[in-house]
Structure 1
Amino acid sequence: MKSLALGLVSLAALAAPALAADMSYPVKAPPPVIIPAFSWTGFYIGANGGYGGDRFRYPFSAFADQYERECRGECNPQSEVAVAAIPDDYVLENSLDLSGEFKLNSSGFFGGGQIGYNYQFYNNWVIGVETDFQWSGIEGEISGNGNLFLNDDLLGGANFSAGSEVEWFGTIRARLGYAWDRVFLYGTGGAAYGKVKSHGSISVFDDMGELFGDSVSTSDTQWGWTVGAGIEYAITDHWTFKTEYLYVDLGSQTLFDDGTEGYVGNDYLVVGAKVDVETTFHTIKAGINYKW
């Protein structure tokens, strides 16, 4: 019995190394791969294109004063040409004041580029600044005619035409929004500037011919403001794609401010008119940026 027990112990001792060789040792798992979140912090530059338009607005005012000759004793002889002041022997008989606004639809394509900088905070809010510049084809034109009445009497008529074009424009804006990793939704606003070219002509006439006419054009760089919103998506770590809406108000300029006076038959007529141009438009655009 003792011999049997010793034999079993010896057999176990011989088998133990073999069993240990067949057992697998624990292996340490590789560390997990951590993909860093995308950051919007950095400078960027890019290009864009889009379509815009709204209405050019033309506020206007006009007046016409009709003076009749009133003789006290002997009347002075009537001049055949207009004079700088109303003659002493004429008194105001009728007066017309007219004001209002006509609107002109505008539309056109534009394209250009932008450059800016973003900074992303730890809570995913992003603040930035951007400036852009666009060559523009936003334009519109209108023409028409009408009759001129004084005291329900038809004195004559008028023909007019007007048109405006935004030749180029740009903005300097702040951007503020929230980032969901590679998606950035933002609002934006700031200053706007642009070159607006306008032209107009007017002709006032009666049955004897033209009373006065004028043709004017103006081209000025105007400053205003803009506001809008957009969304941007990071395609890669360096390339992003965006779409953006902006409303742009470039203020107003005076297109026409003139008048004339002179004899019409036995009456003396003083007429004048002023026309301003107010430039506003909406834009929608798409663009691509390279970020570094």
Structure 2
Amino acid sequence: MNKTLLAATALVALSSAATAADLPYRSAPASYGAAPVFTWAGPYVGVNAGALWASRTRPELYDASGLPFPGPISDSDSAGVSVGGTVGYNMQFGPNFVAGAEADLSWANLNRKSRLSSIDRPGGELTVTSAEFNNKLDYYGTLRGRLGVLAMPSLLLYATGGVAFADAKHSGLGTSVTADDDGVAFGSKSSTKWGYTLGAGMEYALSNNLSVKGEYLYVGLSDTRYLMTDVADGAPMSSVKDHNDFSTVRVGLNYRFGGF
């Protein structure tokens, strides 16, 4: 009797253990860290290249007494290219707004030539005057603020503005011929011109660190004034007022230190 009871008890225990082994096993779920959030904030460096064209291409010429010189001066459409480098810093406010500062310096080869041809009779004497004016831009730079909105997390639309400067070289050479005499006048000036710049653009993030951009800038610089003097005796013959404004469309590639 006792042996039968012990055997039955052992059989029940073995059945319970087998049933428990077949039950599904539940463990605590594995913990995962939050995915990093992409951000435009942080410093960056880059390169840019673009096309430039002069906004005002006709210089103004005045005679020795300060009166506008008679005769039309031709417009000369001018275009060039530029290539340079960029440094900047962005701050991101919330999910949609980005503000920052950017500086760039570019080599440029914007050249312009304008010509004057005039036939006049001052005091009844026939005078034939011709002249050529040259304007050359070797480099320019800007220091700007940027304020933008994110059309999508990877696409930044922005407005930009600040100060600008450029190295401008000017020269003029003219001849004046009458029945009794002829003269040659020359003048030149090289200087760094300062002004402002305004523009807009867009920048697209290719990855966490690389982005491409396209932008338009208008650069308004102070005018250049210089004298043209008689080559023979140095007497002032005329004065020239030339403009230095230009526009540029350029593309760039930026490397941002950060991205998350």
Q: TM-score range by the shorter chain?
A: 0.7 to 0.9
Number of residue-to-residue matches in the alignment = 242
My pick for the range that moved more, 14-23 or 47-56, is: 14-23
Q: Secondary structure at the match of 2:107?
A: strand
Corresponding residue for 1:40? 40
Give the CA deviation at 1:288. Answer: 1.6
Given that 1:57 and 1:279 are in contact with CA atoms closer than 8 Å, whether structure 2 keeps it comes out as no
- Between Structure 1 and Structure 2, whose CA radius of gyration is higher? 1
Given that 1:156 and 1:206 are in contact with CA atoms closer than 8 Å, whether structure 2 keeps it comes out as yes
Corresponding residue for 1:170? 141
Query: Distance in 1 between the 2:190 and 2:252 partners?
Result: 29
Sequence identity (%): 30
Corresponding residue for 1:51? 51
Q: Which residue type is aligned with residue 105 of structure 1?
A: D
Distance 1:255 1:97, change over 3 A: closer
Corresponding residue for 2:181? 209
Given that 1:200 and 1:255 are in contact with CA atoms closer than 8 Å, whether structure 2 keeps it comes out as no
- Structure 2: segments with no counterpart, 5+ residues: 1-9, 231-235
Give the CA deviation at 1:221. Answer: 0.5
**Which of residues 93, 115, 119 in structure 2 aligns to 1:121?**
93
Corresponding residue for 2:130? 159
Q: CA offsets, 1:97-155, max 9 Å, x none? A: 7598753322111111011111111243111111110111111113342201347x562
Query: Distance in 2 between the 1:121 and 1:53 partners?
Result: 36
Q: CA offsets, 1:187-206, max 9 Å, x none? A: 10000001101111111221
RMSD after superposition: 3.1
**Which of residues 166, 172, 191 in structure 1 aligns to 2:163?**
191
Query: Distance in 1 between the 2:165 and 2:58 partners?
Result: 18
Q: Which residue type is aligned with residue 196 of structure 2?
A: W
- TM-score by length of structure 2 reads 0.80
- TM-score by length of structure 1 reads 0.72
Q: Secondary structure at the match of 2:21?
A: helix
- After superposition, residues 128-147 of structure 1 pair within 5 angstroms as 128-147=100-119
- After superposition, residues 231-242 of structure 1 pair within 5 angstroms as 231-242=202-213
- Structure 1: segments with no counterpart, 5+ residues: 1-9, 65-94, 260-270
Distance 1:154 1:30, change over 3 A: farther
Give the CA deviation at 1:224. Answer: 0.7
Distance 1:19 1:149, change over 3 A: farther
Q: Which residue type is aligned with residue 48 of structure 2?
A: N
Given that 1:166 and 1:194 are in contact with CA atoms closer than 8 Å, whether structure 2 keeps it comes out as yes
